[in-house]
Each structure stands twice: as C-alpha cells, then as structure tokens.
Amino acid sequence: MSGNTFGTLFRITTWGESHGKGIGVVIDGCPSGLDLDETVIQAFLDRRRPGGSSASTHRREPDQAAILSGVFDGKTTGTPIAIMIANKDADSSAYASLADIYRPGHGDISYQAKYGIRDWRGGGRASARETAARVAAGAVAGLVLDRMGIRVTSWTRELGGVRAMLTDMDEIFRNPFGCPDRDAAARMAARVEEVRKRGDSIGGIVEILATGVPAGLGEPVFDKLDADMAKALMGIGAVKGVEIGDGFDAASRLGSENNDPITPEGFTSNHAGGILAGISNGDDLKIRVAVKPIPSISISQQTINTRQEPVALSIKGRHDIAAIPRINPVCEAMVRIVLADHILRQQSAVR
C-alpha cells in the first residue's frame, strides 16, 4: 500500500479525490527561510486552469490554494507545509450513471480490482484533478530552484498529430496551446475543433527544459536524475512515454554521432539531455513526454459494468479534448520537485 509520497528530502504527500472535500499536499523537507504565501502557488495553479485553451473544458474550477501550516511571518519555517485546494463545485450527479460502469481507458476497472471499492464520483483519486496538488507542490519546489537560478519551462511539441517547430519560444505564453510555433498553434486549434465535433479526443507531446542546472545532481545507481524524472513524469495520469535528451532517436544513431564532445568551454552538443550516468553534467535538461488522448469521449464505446455485462458507453457532458496544455504545468511541477529533492540530497554530500 502507500504510494502517495514522492521524494526523499523534498518530500510531498498528496491526498484527495475529484469530488470529495478537496485535494491537498503536505510538503515535508522544504528549507526554512524561503518567502512563501498563497500568491506564489496561485500563479502556477492558474496556468493549470481550464478555459484558457479550446482544448480544455470550460468547467468552472477556481482552484484556490490555502496554506495551512509551515509558514510564519511570510517565511517557510522548515516544518511541513500543508496546502489545501477545496472542491467547490463538485457535482457528482453526472457521474451517478457511471457508478457501475468501467469506462475504457480509465482506472475504474483496475482500481476496483485493487481495492474492491472505488469512489466513482469524477474518477475519485484517479482524476486529473489530483495533479493540482502536484502543481502547488511544484510552486514551492520552485523556491528552492530560484535560489540557484534554475529555470524550468515546457511547451507543446505536438498535439493531435500537429507538430510544432521551435520557431519562437515567447509564443509559448501567447497562444492557448503553450506552443512555440504560431502556425502550428493555429493548426492545433483547427484540429481540436474538428475532433471536438466528432466527440473524440487527442494526445500529444510535451517538452520540458531546465536551464541553470548545476552538474552533480542525481544519485547512482537507482536514484539517477533521469530515473527519478522518468518516474515523476510517467506517474502523471496520461503519460505513456518519457525520453531524456534524444530519447528513442538515440537508438538509431552511431556512438560517434550521439556522444556529446567536451571542450574547455563545455559540451558542443546536448544529445544526452544534460545527464550522464544519471548525474547532471551542467548542460540543460531536456525531457519529452508522450501524452495519450483523453479517454472520456462521447463516441460510443464497448465496455462492461460491474456485473460483467456488456454495455455501450457514450460519455456525455463537457470534457477536455486533450490533456495538453493543462498537463504542461504539471510536468514542469514534477521536474521542479525532482530537482529540488536532488539539490537537497546533493547538499548532504561532503563540503
């Protein structure tokens, strides 16, 4: 059992269900003396809000974070920081008809197998709503990174088969898809509309970049920086693949192409994605994740109910068409949390 805690020294424990009283996180191990109030967290939560993008629902979901402990006079005290985000408008009635049906692509059937009981309201613990707690924790982790000048950003590299080029990184904050390619963003919008009309959904690829990462982070041989990143990101609901640096492209390359030459001024390329033998090498971290299509679609699907009878299911109501771009700040948050943890771990080394 267990499994709702992540990290060794910067350690987060999350709780909550989609339609329960709220969701929350306890952050244990945050250094003392950092400036923190709700606005720091809110800025990140707002990026995860629906409505900004036409790929996302218009459901009202204010997501207001309350800090319940660990902060005194505007500074972290070194004791656990508890943050809660109350569920305000959870209306479970739409889910009542799903109480005894296993939705394809969702965790309904696996949760039932595991626990013999499941909170079917809004997906319960398996809801993407859970990730709001991660975003809140990531905001706090960011305070640890800020001190060192580390910056984490993310963007949509692909959505519904539309691939973006890295034409203008400022574009990320201008279009609703977090896409660094204005033309691609326009095609993504069209793709989303087309899919929405069909009652279907789409997936995509998110890229995360961390700059300013010092060399030396990561613990061989199991808690490698890339291994912990892989766990952190694969553990986000819709993620089905994780790549470090060139990832799967490296598989078809020659060693002479893939090795990053070293000069007194640094590496001349970054196929490795900033990690060698599981330890950061001082170059930028480059990570890519594959996001599957949202499983809730209105197109009719074949499934069964809890009595093992066949059922045709069409999921009504407003749902996100894609986890992207709402998942992007979640990916960033997990990367920040992993980095904060490994920064603290490395601090424990000899000085």
> How many angstroms separate the CA atoms of 215 and 209, rounded?
15
Mask of contacts with a second copy, 135-164, x by CB under 8 A? -----------------------x-xx---
What does 110-154 look like in DSSP terms, one character per residue? HHHHHHS----GGGGGGSGGGHHHHHHHHHHHHHHHHTTT-EEEE
Q: Looking at residues 310 to 329 of the shown chain, list those that interact with a second copy (rule: CB under 8 A).
A: 310
CA atoms within 13 A of residue 153's CA, in its CB half-sphere: 15
> How many angstroms separate the CA atoms of 329 and 333, rounded?
6
CB distance 138 to 30 below 8 Å: no
Q: Tell which residue, 115, 221, 109, 207, has the closest CA to residue 159.
A: 207
State the number of binding residues for a second copy (CB under 8 A).
154
Q: What is the smallest separation between the CB atom of 292 and a second copy, expressed in angstroms?
A: 4
Characterize the bridge pairing of strands 285-291 and 239-244: antiparallel
Residue choice 135, 139, 185, 195 for contact with a second copy (CB under 8 A): 195
By the 10 Å C-beta count (0-12 exposed, 13-18 middle, 19+ buried), 204 is classed as buried
Name which of 92 and 153 has its Cβ closer to a second copy. Answer: 92
Name which of 170 and 248 has its Cβ closer to a second copy. Answer: 248
Q: Looking at residues 235 to 294 of the shown chain, list those that interact with a second copy (rule: CB under 8 A).
A: 235, 237, 240-264, 268, 272-273, 275-282, 290-294
- Cα angle 275, 233, 329 (rounded to 5 degrees) comes to 105
Name which of 50 and 199 has its Cβ closer to a second copy. Answer: 199
Show the tokens assigned to 38.
């709700």
Name which of 53 and 296 has its Cβ closer to a second copy. Answer: 296
Of the candidate spans 7-15, 53-61, 164-172, 176-184, the one that interacts with a second copy by CB under 8 A turns out to be: 7-15
Name which of 73 and 170 has its Cβ closer to a second copy. Answer: 73
**Category of 123 on φ-ψ map: left (φ > 0), alpha (ψ -120 to 50) or beta:** left
Q: Is 64 in the site for a second copy (CB under 8 A)?
A: no
Q: What is the smallest separation between the CB atom of 197 and a second copy, expressed in angstroms?
A: 13
Q: What is the smallest separation between the CB atom of 337 and a second copy, expressed in angstroms?
A: 10
Name which of 40 and 174 has its Cβ closer to a second copy. Answer: 40
* The residue to which tokens 């660094």 are assigned: 180
Residue choice 4, 57, 153, 270 for contact with a second copy (CB under 8 A): 4
Q: What is the smallest separation between the CB atom of 176 and a second copy, expressed in angstroms?
A: 19
Q: Tell which residue, 100, 114, 87, has the closest CA to residue 311.
A: 100
CB distance 300 to 308 below 8 Å: no
Q: Looking at residues 40 to 59 of the shown chain, list those that interact with a second copy (rule: CB under 8 A).
A: none
Name which of 154 and 281 has its Cβ closer to a second copy. Answer: 281
Q: Looking at residues 93 to 132 of the shown chain, list those that interact with a second copy (rule: CB under 8 A).
A: 102, 104-107, 109-111, 113-119, 121, 124-126, 130
